[in-house]
């Protein structure tokens, strides 16, 4: 009984950690660079499908798989997602801030479409099964299997975290922050500012791809419906709740939001009659959506907030705000 | 200097700035009499522009008051100020470049009663015949001097009692500056009170009745425009600090 | 090439155009890409469904099809009511969310994110209330009439083209010939200067929400009449809408309509070549091409 609980706990945490990796990737793009990605699900899917293609045993019904070692698949997933991010970034980063958002939204739509329709590559609506799971030989012992997987994921999250922390403190990270916070600095850097942003966007996308790959191998099966816009939304909620600009916040937010999500899903399936479950699931999304908007309004810096203070007035773009003019509306 | 009932516009202990903890205008007592043309001088970063923007309602006022013709307009929102007779011409982006010349005038005339709009637009065309040549032209296609004229015409359409201009000479050639300033002098002669923020000290003092000098957000000097050019304070503030007075922008 | 594809593309394009006009208006005044605009299309369609059902239940005669069309008077009346209700919904969202963010001087991208949150909330709310199964204004089937040249169209389709054309002309006249239209163009270019010349920016923002959401409602009703009503319908249109708004040039109403037709026609033609399952990718290809070669759009000004 207790062992089952530990096994479930390990499963839950492992799943949450895969989200933590996505949130870390998003934090590079948004928290550190201020680039808005509405197509997270697409980049995660690219990583997942690439890794699945590389590591699954040969399947006569589709292209591949290539039966390569798992870690090769993970690296491959990260690289492919990174290239995709680079391309979409190169297209839009020099344009209006929200064109990147629209373009990444398009990426998610197209990846979803490709996953559904490119059957020879993706297995179509049925997805890809038999993705090798780490320590699959221990599957008979759920506790050991669960704990070892948790250890692997912790290792991935830990090393990604350390890498990102080092990067944030490196000259590269400092330039990124100044580019984000100070329009003048960005202008002074000119072309270089675009280059730095692009590097950060590609890095973040690559991390999302890695996350998708690890998730695919942990579950062992992927299908297009795993990568709907709701995934993008969840990850955003995770980063915003935890505190954008803060890597520990990204991890904390992932565990927290995934916990709330899993718990509320559990409650819904326990108390709502089966024929009403689809509706209840919709209500679940409504509540998370309202919560996200509320956090944006009330506590835009999240639970942990950003590690360093950023100045409030720099980098702000002109929005019509007629009431900001009179002193009465200015909050002390 | 403060003289009784004919004060047109005044500020009392005005503190203003974009950030509450970082006031740029720091306690300015200032007044203009009806029909006066006052120039606000001062080195770069002295807060001249912020000062007039605060009066126009574009920069938050932290404390102090702005009085216009006897009534307190401190908390009046920007778009209402022009209805109180206060017209403002910003330094840059002071016309709607994507709108036609005619639409620039019409959009400003909208706050007038319907029956007066066409009349006032016609009046302004008579006053600025250059603008009447091709009224359907995109305002963005105008030359620097013409843009400034359009901006002034746009501000005058509502027959303001006070006209505030933020560096109208910026970016214009000396010849055009002369023309613009002559025009301002003529407008002032019709009874419009004018507050002029300027870097072009010489040209501004030539048309102004009075000058005030702002330094680090506070009033440093106030007096007749005539003769100020030879004042050592001007030399200290401008010649000492920055030899190229038009290096700004 | 199947000439029928042109007709289908034109009809789909006019719907995309109507939605894109709404997006381009709100984008140019509010200065952010509103991801919830697709959901306003869906909510408008459902508002009209509620009103039309109520009217049909109260006055049976209103469900009887008018002349050659598939629907009774209940639907056009409901569309007008939905225009207003959807506008009110947009104002409510602005009051709850975007207005507050504007007062906090939130960055553009925070607004985009909030609109993304609002979109998912609204879509899921519609799914909760109406379930994800499709609904219809009318069950009666229509026969497509031949227009010659191998092109056939139903009376509903022809009417939708007419409605789109009338609305776009009306909006264009509103923007270029009226005081509120001039104010909208002024705020779109420079909200601060607009305030200086006496325009109340908040008022203009309210009008823009009303108009944008109203047009979205009409697009939703049209899509509902021609196809079906689903909570996802607006979301599925979002990428074509953005592609059309950007292709037309942000802020340009005729541009958005023309670009909507281009996107609709491209989709219809491409579907003939690569298959219907790739329809959604066409808008993305157009979007990428525009961003690559002419990011300011057909009628936009370069920044």
DSSP codes joined into one string, B87-126:
EEE-SSS-S-TTSBHHHHHHHHHTTS-HHHHHHHHHHHHH
> Which residues in chain B touch residue C185, judged by CB atoms under 8 angstroms apart?
96, 98-99, 103
Confidence bin at A312 (pLDDT 50/70/90):
very low
Contact at CB, B60 and A327, closer than 8 angstroms: yes
Any B CB within 8 A of A322 CB? yes
Which helix (H) or strand (E) is B223 found in, with range?
strand B218-224
- Whole-number Å distance between alpha carbons of C36 and C22: 11
Contact C198, C139 (CB under 8 A): no
The SS3 assignment for A60 reads coil
Any C CB within 8 A of A117 CB? yes
Task: Pull the structure tokens for residue A242.
Answer: 């935890």
Contact at CB, C190 and B96, closer than 8 angstroms: yes
> Which residues in chain C touch residue A319, judged by CB atoms under 8 angstroms apart?
30-32, 102, 105-108, 111, 191
Q: What pTM did the predictor assign?
A: 0.86
Number of residues that this document lists for chain B = 249
Contact A272, A280 (CB under 8 A): yes
Any C CB within 8 A of A296 CB? yes
> Which residues in chain C touch residue B154, judged by CB atoms under 8 angstroms apart?
197
Beta strand extents in chain A (DSSP E only): none
Complete domains list, chain B, with CATH: 4-94+159-242 (3.40.50.300)
Question: How high does pLDDT run on average in chain A?
Answer: 84
Q: What is the pLDDT of residue C106?
A: 80
- Whole-number Å distance between alpha carbons of C303 and C285: 23
Q: How close is the nearest chain A Cα to the Cα of B85, in Å?
A: 18
Task: Pull the structure tokens for residue C98.
Answer: 């975007």
Contact at CB, C196 and B110, closer than 8 angstroms: no
Any A CB within 8 A of C185 CB? no
Q: Which of A314, A316, A322, A325 to mutate to test the interface with B (most CBs of B within 10 A)?
A: A325
- Whole-number Å distance between alpha carbons of B186 and B45: 30
Reply yes or no on whether the pLDDT at A331 is more than 50: no
The domain spans of chain A are: 2-228
Alpha helices by DSSP H, C131-200: 155-177, 179-189, 191-196
Reply yes or no on whether the pLDDT at C81 is more than 60: yes
Confidence bin at A328 (pLDDT 50/70/90):
very low
> Which residues in chain B touch residue A330, judged by CB atoms under 8 angstroms apart?
20, 60, 62
Find the closest chain B residue to A331 by CA distance: B20
Contact at CB, A329 and C103, closer than 8 angstroms: yes
Reply yes or no on whether the pLDDT at C195 is more than 60: yes
Q: Dmax of chain A from CA atoms?
A: 71
Q: How close is the nearest chain A Cα to the Cα of B227, in Å?
A: 38
> Which residues in chain A touch residue B66, judged by CB atoms under 8 angstroms apart?
none
* ipTM exceeding the 0.85 mark: yes
Confidence bin at A7 (pLDDT 50/70/90):
confident
- Whole-number Å distance between alpha carbons of A26 and A232: 10
Contact A112, A227 (CB under 8 A): yes
> Which residues in chain B touch residue A324, judged by CB atoms under 8 angstroms apart?
60
Reply yes or no on whether the pLDDT at C10 is more than 90: yes
Please tell me which of the candidates A92, A288, A320 has its beta carbon nearest to residue C291.
Answer: A92
> Which residues in chain B touch residue C188, judged by CB atoms under 8 angstroms apart?
98
Complete domains list, chain C, with CATH: 3-137+150-293 (1.10.3470)
Residues 6+ apart with CB under 8 A from B182: B207
Q: How close is the nearest chain A Cα to the Cα of B20, in Å?
A: 7
């Amino acid at each position: 009984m207790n062992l089952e609980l530990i096994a479930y706990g390990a499963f839950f945490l492992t799943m949450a950690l895969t989200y933590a990796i996505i949130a870390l990737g998003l934090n590079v793009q948004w928290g550190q660079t201020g680039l808005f990605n509405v197509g997270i699900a697409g980049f995660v899917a690219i990583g997942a499908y690439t890794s699945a293609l590389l590591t699954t045993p040969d399947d006569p019904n589709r292209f591949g798989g290539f039966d390569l070692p798992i870690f090769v698949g993970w690296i491959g997933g990260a690289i492919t997602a990174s290239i995709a991010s680079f391309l979409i970034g190169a297209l839009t980063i020099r344009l209006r801030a929200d064109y990147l958002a629209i373009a990444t939204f398009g990426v998610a739509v197209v990846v979803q479409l490709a996953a559904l329709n490119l059957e020879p590559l993706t297995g179509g609506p049925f997805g890809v099964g038999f993705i090798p799971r780490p320590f699959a030989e221990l599957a008979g012992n759920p506790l050991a299997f669960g704990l070892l997987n948790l250890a692997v994921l912790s290792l991935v999250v830990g090393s990604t975290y350390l890498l990102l922390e080092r990067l944030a403190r490196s000259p590269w990270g400092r330039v990124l922050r100044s580019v984000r916070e100070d329009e003048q600095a960005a202008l002074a850097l000119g072309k270089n500012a675009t280059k730095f942003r692009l590097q950060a966007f590609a890095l973040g996308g690559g991390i999302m791809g890695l996350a998708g790959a690890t998730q695919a191998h942990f579950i062992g099966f992927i299908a297009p419906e795993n990568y709907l816009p709701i995934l993008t939304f969840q990850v955003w909620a995770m980063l915003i709740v935890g505190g954008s600009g803060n890597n520990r916040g990204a991890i904390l937010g992932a565990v927290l939001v995934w916990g709330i999500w899993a718990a509320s899903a559990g409650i819904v399936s326990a108390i709502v009659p089966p024929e009403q479950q689809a509706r209840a699931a919709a209500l679940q999304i409504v509540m998370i959506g309202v919560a996200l908007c509320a956090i944006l309004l009330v506590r835009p810096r999240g639970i942990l907030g950003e590690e360093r203070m950023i100045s409030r007035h720099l980098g702000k773009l002109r929005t019509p705000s007629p009431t900001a003019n009179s002193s009465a509306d200015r909050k002390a | 200097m403060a003289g009784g009932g004919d004060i047109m516009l005044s500020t009392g202990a005005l503190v203003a700035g974009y950030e509450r903890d970082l006031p740029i205008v720091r306690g300015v007592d200032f007044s203009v009499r009806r029909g006066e043309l006052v120039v606000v001088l001062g080195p770069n970063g002295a807060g001249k522009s912020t000062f007039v923007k605060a009066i126009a309602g574009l920069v938050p006022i932290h404390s102090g008051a702005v009085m216009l013709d006897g009534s307190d307009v401190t908390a009046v929102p920007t778009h209402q100020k022009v209805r109180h007779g206060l017209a403002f011409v910003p330094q840059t982006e002071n016309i709607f470049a994507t709108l036609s010349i005619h639409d620039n005038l019409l959009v400003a005339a909208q706050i007038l009663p319907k029956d007066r709009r066409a009349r006032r637009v016609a009046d302004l065309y008579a006053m600025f015949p250059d603008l009447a040549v091709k009224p359907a032209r995109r305002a963005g296609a105008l030359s620097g001097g013409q843009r400034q004229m359009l901006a002034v015409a746009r501000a005058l359409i509502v027959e303001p009692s006070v006209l505030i201009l933020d560096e109208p000479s910026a970016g214009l050639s000396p010849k055009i500056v002369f023309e613009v300033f002559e025009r301002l002098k003529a407008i002032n002669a019709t009874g419009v009170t004018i507050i002029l923020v300027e870097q072009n000290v010489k040209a501004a003092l030539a048309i102004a009745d009075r000058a005030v000098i702002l330094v680090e957000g506070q009033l440093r000097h106030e007096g007749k425009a005539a003769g100020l050019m030879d004042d050592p304070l001007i030399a200290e503030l401008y010649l000492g600090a920055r030899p190229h007075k038009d290096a700004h922008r | 090439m199947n000439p029928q594809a042109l007709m289908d593309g034109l009809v789909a394009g006019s719907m995309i155009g109507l939605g894109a006009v709404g997006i381009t208006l709100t984008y140019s005044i509010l200065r952010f890409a509103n991801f919830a605009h697709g959901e306003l299309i869906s909510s408008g369609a459902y508002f009209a469904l509620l009103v039309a059902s109520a009217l049909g239940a109260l006055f049976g005669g209103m469900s009887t099809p008018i002349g050659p069309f598939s629907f009774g008077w209940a639907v056009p009346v409901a569309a007008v009511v939905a225009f207003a209700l959807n506008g009110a919904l947009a104002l409510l969202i602005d009051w709850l969310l975007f207005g507050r963010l504007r007062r906090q001087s939130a960055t553009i991208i925070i607004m985009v994110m909030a609109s993304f949150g609002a979109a998912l909330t609204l879509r899921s709310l519609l799914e909760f209330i109406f379930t994800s199964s499709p609904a219809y204004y009318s069950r009666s089937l229509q026969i497509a009439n031949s227009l010659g040249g191998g092109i056939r169209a139903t009376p509903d389709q022809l009417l939708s083209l007419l409605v789109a054309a009338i609305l776009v002309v009306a909006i264009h006249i509103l923007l270029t010939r009226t005081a509120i239209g001039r104010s909208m163009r002024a705020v779109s270019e420079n909200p601060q200067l607009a305030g200086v010349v006496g325009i109340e920016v908040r008022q203009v923002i309210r009008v823009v929400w009303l108009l944008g959401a109203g047009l979205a409602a009409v697009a939703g009703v049209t899509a509902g009449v021609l196809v079906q009503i689903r909570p996802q319908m607006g979301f599925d249109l979002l990428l074509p809408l953005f592609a059309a708004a950007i292709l037309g040039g942000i802020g340009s109403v005729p541009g958005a309509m023309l670009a909507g037709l281009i996107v609709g026609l491209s989709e219809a033609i491409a579907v003939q070549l690569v298959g219907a399952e790739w329809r959604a990718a066409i808008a993305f290809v157009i979007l990428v091409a525009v961003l690559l070669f002419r990011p300011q759009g057909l009628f936009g000004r370069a920044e």
